């Protein structure tokens, strides 16, 4: 069976930098998945019709507050960041925008119509707007839902995860919710029916834990598990190989949310923010190390290569033959960065970029020299090698590719 094509889109209220992170992470999950999903992303603003949007207070109560602040999961976080307590509680007590499920699914339908998306392809809308269901008054504040058959639309509520799960990137619960909706869709069980009849009211660390509060999601994130009962249910309609492949993705999320991984080299690191400096005369992008409070100083050529490698996990091919295989695509992508930086003509930029690759051993111009220069400048701002490993360009000799092994979900922000 062919993979299900899934279009991930965002409402205007879910910002583009968070969307980019979800995109990078889902692309990584997709590379582990041989059978299930083919993701497509569209970063443009989708507008939720305001007629059904209203402000409401979310029911964040004393019980939840106490549970969050006393949670053993986050005790260490709150001990180290006492100032965050009030900030988090205040954020959770704020009114939220609410709208109906019907209105959210309408955004998907409009997108489908305007972009000529086939009926059988799934659309998932990411939105900070909270929800209630017009058709069923008992339903509100769901973390996501699928429309009933025969429509193939879904939404995921993206707001507040960072406050309920402090210290954990919200990319992970959001991606988890997307995967959950998709496997239920694939099983052909209606989502409301699934939630009402098949979920575990008390959390046991299974994808089907009902999780009344976002706080409770942490258990299933960190087990990445599907219990026996739910596995048997899924096997009625989904091939075991597909479920296996699906579990590899859950495993990847799990590994990202384990607390012990903080011992694996994430201490002392800094987020890298790629931002555009807005200057009408001379707009350009730059790389800022938030934790070290310093910009990485690079010339246009070096910056183009560095940005390219940050943006492309698979890296740049080393060696002339390999480069010529992929040169057109690589050169034109880098040239885009280069042209933006120097405001040069794209054709001229392509020519310059081509030269860096083809003039080997001509001091100053080839990719190895560019790599060394970048790494040298990184060394000036990050003396500790074990931390620098996160940001440096390395040559993977076995694959013969230049790469940056940065933890893109944890450390990279595109602004």
Residues that bind Zn ion (CB under 5 A): 206, 208, 227, 230
Tell me whether residue 53 or residue 227 sits nearer to Zn ion (CB atom): 227
Min dist. Cβ of residue 231 to Zn ion (A): 8
Tell me whether residue 36 or residue 203 sits nearer to Zn ion (CB atom): 203
Tell me whether residue 169 or residue 225 sits nearer to Zn ion (CB atom): 225
**Burial (CB count within 10 angstroms: exposed 0-12, middle 13-18, buried 19+), residue 57:** exposed
Tell me whether residue 199 or residue 344 sits nearer to Zn ion (CB atom): 199
Q: Say how far apart CA 180 and CA 174 lie, in whole Å.
A: 10
Tell me whether residue 218 or residue 318 sits nearer to Zn ion (CB atom): 218
Token code pair at residue 197: 């009849």
Min dist. Cβ of residue 330 to Zn ion (A): 45
Min dist. Cβ of residue 187 to Zn ion (A): 13
Tell me whether residue 104 or residue 206 sits nearer to Zn ion (CB atom): 206
With left for phi above 0 and alpha for psi between -120 and 50, is residue 267 left, alpha or beta? Answer: beta
Tell me whether residue 206 or residue 217 sits nearer to Zn ion (CB atom): 206
Q: Are 166 and 74 in contact (CB under 8 A)?
A: yes
Token code pair at residue 326: 């992929």
Min dist. Cβ of residue 230 to Zn ion (A): 3
Min dist. Cβ of residue 215 to Zn ion (A): 19
Tell me whether residue 25 or residue 194 sits nearer to Zn ion (CB atom): 194
Strand partners, 7: 40, 123
Min dist. Cβ of residue 208 to Zn ion (A): 4
Tell me whether residue 103 or residue 208 sits nearer to Zn ion (CB atom): 208
Three-class SS string for the chain? CCCEEEEEEEECCCCHHHHHHHHHHHHHHHHHCCCCEEEEEEEEEECCCHHHCEEEECCCCHHHHHHHHHCCCCHHHHHHCCCHHHHHHHHHHCEEEEEEHHHHHHHHHHHHHHCCCCCCCEEEEEECCEEECCCCCCCECCCEEECCCCCCEEEEECCCHHHHCCCCCCHHHHHHHHHHHHHHHHHCCCHHHHHHHHCECCCCCCCCECCCCHHHHHHHHHHCCCCHHHHHHHHCCCCHHHHHHHHHHHHHHHHHHCHHHHHCCCCCCCCEEEEEECCCCCCEEEEEECCCCEECCCCHHHHHHHHHHHHCCCCEECCHHHHHHHHHHHHHHHHHHHHHHHCCCHHHHHHHHHHHHHCCCCCCCCHHHHHHHHHHHHHHHCCCHHHHCCCCEEEECCCCEEEECCCHHHHEEEC
Min dist. Cβ of residue 216 to Zn ion (A): 14
Token code pair at residue 406: 């940065």
Q: Say how far apart CA 219 and CA 205 lie, in whole Å.
A: 5
Min dist. Cβ of residue 254 to Zn ion (A): 15
Q: Say how far apart CA 400 and CA 402 lie, in whole Å.
A: 7
Min dist. Cβ of residue 68 to Zn ion (A): 25
Min dist. Cβ of residue 174 to Zn ion (A): 21
Tell me whether residue 206 or residue 339 sits nearer to Zn ion (CB atom): 206
Tell me whether residue 112 or residue 254 sits nearer to Zn ion (CB atom): 254
Min dist. Cβ of residue 204 to Zn ion (A): 7
């Amino acid at each position: 069976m062919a993979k299900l094509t899934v279009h991930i889109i965002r409402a205007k209220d879910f910002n583009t930098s968070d969307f980019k992170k979800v995109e990078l992470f889902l692309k990584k999950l997709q590379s582990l998945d041989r059978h299930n999903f083919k993701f497509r992303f569209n970063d443009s603003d989708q507008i939720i019709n305001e007629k059904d949007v209203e402000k409401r207070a979310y029911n964040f109560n004393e019980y939840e507050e106490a549970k969050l602040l006393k949670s053993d999961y986050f005790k260490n976080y709150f001990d180290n960041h006492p100032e965050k307590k009030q900030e988090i509680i205040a954020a959770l007590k704020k009114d939220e925008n609410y709208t109906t499920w019907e209105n959210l699914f309408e955004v998907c339908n409009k997108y489908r119509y305007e972009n000529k998306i086939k009926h059988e392809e799934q659309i998932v809308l990411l939105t900070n707007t909270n929800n209630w269901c017009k058709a069923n008054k008992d339903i509100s504040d769901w973390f996501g839902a699928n429309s009933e058959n025969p429509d193939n639309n879904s939404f995921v509520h993206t707001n507040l995860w960072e406050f309920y799960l402090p210290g954990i990137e919200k990319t992970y619960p959001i991606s988890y919710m997307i995967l959950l909706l998709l496997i239920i869709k694939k099983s052909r069980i209606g989502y409301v029916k699934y939630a009402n009849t098949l979920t575990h009211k008390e959390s046991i660390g299974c994808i089907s834990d009902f999780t009344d509060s976002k706080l409770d999601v942490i258990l299933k994130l960190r087990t990445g598990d599907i219990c026996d009962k739910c596995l048997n249910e899924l096997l009625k309609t989904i091939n075991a190989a597909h479920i296996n492949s699906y579990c590899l993705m859950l495993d990847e999320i799990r590994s990202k949310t384990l607390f012990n991984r903080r011992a694996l080299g994430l201490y002392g690191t800094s987020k890298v923010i790629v931002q555009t400096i807005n200057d009408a005369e001379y707009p350009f992008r730059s790389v800022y190390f938030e934790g070290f409070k310093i910009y990485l100083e690079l010339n246009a050529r070096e910056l183009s290569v560095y940005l390219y490698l940050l943006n492309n996990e698979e890296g740049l091919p080393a060696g002339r033959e390999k480069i010529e295989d992929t040169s057109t695509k690589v050169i034109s992508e880098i040239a885009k960065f280069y042209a933006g930086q120097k405001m040069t003509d794209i054709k001229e930029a392509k020519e310059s970029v081509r030269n860096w690759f083809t003039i080997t051993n001509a001091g100053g111009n080839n990719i190895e020299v560019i790599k060394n220069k970048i790494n040298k400048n990184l060394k000036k701002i990050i003396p500790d090698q074990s931390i620098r490993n996160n940001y440096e360009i390395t040559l993977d000799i076995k694959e013969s590719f230049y790469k940056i092994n940065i933890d893109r979900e944890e450390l990279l922000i595109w602004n």
